[in-house]
Amino acid sequence: MGLFKHKAIETVEEANRRAKKILPKDVYTALLAGSDSGATMRGNLSAFEEIGLIPRVGVELPSKLDMKTSFMGQPIELPVVIAPAAAQAMHPDAELGVARAARRAGTAIGLSNFASLPFEDVARENANAFAHVYLSGDRDIVAGRVERFRKAGAKGLIFTLDLSGGRTAFQPRDWGSPVYPDGLDLAAMIRYAPMALGNPSWFFRYLRRGMIPGLDAPNMSKGDGVVPTLVGGLYEWMATPVPTWDDVAWLRELWGGPFMVKGILTPDDARRAVDAGATAIGVSNHGGNNLDTTPSPLRFLPGVVKAVGDQAEVTFDSGIRRGADVVKALALGAQSVMIGRPWFYGLSADGERGVYEVLESFRITIERTLVGLGKSSIHDLSADDLVVPPEYFLNLGSSRSAGIVRGEAAA
């Protein structure tokens, strides 16, 4: 044993504190993301705190609690999935470390269009890998990327609608927005040298491996062998028109397999997604990175679940920070949840090990919550396990709110 024993990450907030301590300010600001005043980011978190849990005592439980579920038709051991997000300059382990950690935890990974490593490499580390795609470039370019993901063994396609193109890219933030260099030429290295020198622990992680932080977007390649920079990929995306439901139907037909439309809040949009061929619905407000003051997706979840019925699987993201949050989302009808910032924090704090410890913190706190509720399985959860304030759930499409009766949003 060494002189100092590693202290495992016990909570997402602890991982966040470690990430903030080690990362340069611009890198941490990119990780934090959000838009405008950050009202939606804060609301995503507070929405979970408003819902209470009803403990049950004296219940005999098995030694091993059941947390198995499926994500886009694929079985997973933990109902917490890695959401696609552009992991740039956080840790040398990058997406390969995230994929290995997810595999070890028994769960799946979604890989962003703007990831720093090729989908092929990530799928080799975790066979339960799902490709994320934006509508970026013309249809021939998108079709080429989709075919590439198919050949690499993608288990499904995730199509994000709630953060699309130049109309919503590069959100202004009251706390400042990061600047992304378009490559690391000599001028850029000189400009960013103080950042590296001011955060030696972060910089030496790369130096020890003979690396520099990745600034490319290899999954945005057009098949000509040229790998665009992250900024170059973003500019192509920003120049592409915002997708329509016709685009959703086209992409679903092109792909032909498990297909998630992510960024859904209203029952009407959920039904449109199903009509366009979606096999999974991602209830999400993009973690507060799109239209600020949008309410938490948790307030919309029962309405979406009711709208799609058994026609599509429903997953949830935005604001998940602990096992109790996962349990609440599952009790309201989600089949699984996805996390973004939590795995980013873990990766930044300690690479692959940090991501795995964050996932294990979810496993431990889900189990603790199930025990407190007297449940032996996540499939036994329902709205009857929750205390929900009056008018908490939104009757979407109108200015009125609706209560919830035994897990169903009022019509």
The residues annotated as belonging to the active site are: 286
Instruction: Tell me how far the alpha carbon of residue 405 is from its chain's centroid.
Output: 29
**Residue 293 CB neighbours (<10 A):** 11
Q: Which of 8, 32, 163 is nearest to 90 (CA)?
A: 32
CA-based Rg of the chain, rounded to a whole angstrom?
A: 21
CA angle 403, 408, 411 (to 5 degrees): 65
Contact 104, 205 (CB under 8 A): no
Nearest to 129 by CA among 74, 69, 86: 74
- Compute CA distances 170 → 24, 102, 127, 255, whole Å: 19, 29, 32, 29
Q: Is 359 left (phi over 0), alpha (psi -120 to 50) or beta?
A: alpha
User: Considering only CA atoms, which of 320, 262, 275, 301 is closest in space to residue 402?
Assistant: 301
C-alpha–C-alpha distance, residues 257 and 278, integer Å:
10
Q: Are 43 and 290 in contact (CB under 8 A)?
A: no
* Secondary structure element (H or E) that encloses residue 376, with its range: none
